Structure 1
Amino acid sequence: MNIGPNTVAVFHYTLRNEAGEELETSRGAEPSAFLFGASNIIPGLEAALAGKASGDVFTASVAPGDAYGEVDPQRQQRVPVKHLLFKGKLRPGMVVQLNTSDGRIPVTVVKVGRHSADIDTNHPLAGQALSFDIEVVDVRAATEEEVAHGHAHGPGGHQH
């Protein structure tokens, strides 16, 4: 079976930035699972996985526009430090969590003041071309419940 509409793909990945530095990997842990076509992963990675089958191993290069977007300079703002979740001393360059009405989002600290901080709400990987080393572990038909919920269930997917 190939990855396509109404399928769940289970895969291991290693994510690298433009400099080739490893940023994240699923190796040594549970593989990731996603429902194809439900926008559960970045568009460029989903497009690269389309048509692949269990056992396929490949590298996918994803441009910033198909990953986390380009950096938008308008997405910087000043917020009270009490709205940020972090450990230790707050420093420029740290990626911390910002409490919003829609939940927590990762933000990058640009400048730290006594009671407030300037933050960048662009995704930390915005503006970067990314490389994914992929190993497709399994491809299966999605259940009706997964299609209705818009995500994969079970190991590597969403748990209810």
Structure 2
Amino acid sequence: MSKVIKENSNIIVHITMKLSDGSAADSTKVNNKPAKIIMGDQSISPAFEANLLGLKEGESKEFSLKSADAFGDKNPDNIHYVDITKFDSETPAKVGSIITFTQPGGELPGMITDVSGTSVTVDFNHPLAGQDVTFVIDVIEIQ
């Protein structure tokens, strides 16, 4: 009898994400590195977990989540203004660049969204925050 995903399962899945216009945003299949998910550890939203419950090994499912249940809505508190002197030739202040800042809790990537005079706007929201996302889940293993 095949295993079924439950509230406390450890699972290995391939995840493909698509934006509302159908374009691919990301996939674990690109580098053939499936994701490990520990159900119930709060690392994914309850709405995401609810879509996984009951799936069996080898099954696939496609579902869409509103931004609040996917990567959250954009939080204005996650947009910071950094002095241009913090940048140099190795890490130039260029719109569209993703810069990783080291913090006490680890590393935090942010995207430069604006450069105006000596002020550089850095957005630390997840790149898919504020967007509805369609997920395709391929269940590889249930532990």
Query: Under TM normalisation by the shorter chain, which class is it?
Result: 0.7 to 0.9
Aligned to 1:111: 114
Q: What's the CA shift for 1:22?
A: 1.0
- TM-score, normalised to structure 2's length? 0.81
Go from structure 1 to structure 2 and tell me whether the alpha carbon gap of 1:44 and 1:90 turns closer, same or farther (over 3 Å shift).
farther
State how far apart, in whole Å, the 2-side matches of 1:7 and 1:37 are: 8
Identical aligned residues as a percent: 26
Q: What's the CA shift for 1:43?
A: 3.8
After superposition, what is the alpha-carbon deviation per residue over 1:46-92, rounded to whole angstroms, capped at 9, x for unaligned? 221122111211102111111111122343221245767x9664322
Aligned to 2:131: 128
State how far apart, in whole Å, the 2-side matches of 1:46 and 1:54 are: 16
Aligned to 1:11: 13
Go from structure 1 to structure 2 and tell me whether the alpha carbon gap of 1:46 and 1:94 turns closer, same or farther (over 3 Å shift).
farther
Q: What's the CA shift for 1:14?
A: 1.1
Q: What's the CA shift for 1:118?
A: 1.2
- TM-score, normalised to structure 1's length? 0.73
State how far apart, in whole Å, the 1-side matches of 2:137 and 2:91 are: 35
Q: Number of aligned residue pairs: give it.
A: 140
State how far apart, in whole Å, the 2-side matches of 1:106 and 1:132 are: 23
Paired AA for residue 61 in structure 1:
S
Aligned to 1:79: 82
Q: CA RMSD in A?
A: 2.6
SS of residue matched to 1:60: strand
Gap runs ≥5 in structure 2: none
SS of residue matched to 1:65: helix
Paired AA for residue 137 in structure 2:
I
Say which of 58, 61, 65 aligns to 1:58: 61
State how far apart, in whole Å, the 1-side matches of 2:27 and 2:127 are: 17
Gap runs ≥5 in structure 1: 141-160
State how far apart, in whole Å, the 2-side matches of 1:115 and 1:99 are: 22
Kindly indicate whether the alpha-carbon contact (under 8 Å) linking 1:14 and 1:25 is maintained by their aligned counterparts in 2. Answer: yes
Paired AA for residue 2 in structure 1:
V
Kindly indicate whether the alpha-carbon contact (under 8 Å) linking 2:91 and 2:99 is maintained by their aligned counterparts in 1. Answer: no
Paired AA for residue 25 in structure 2:
L
Q: What's the CA shift for 1:114?
A: 6.3
Go from structure 1 to structure 2 and tell me whether the alpha carbon gap of 1:37 and 1:81 turns closer, same or farther (over 3 Å shift).
farther
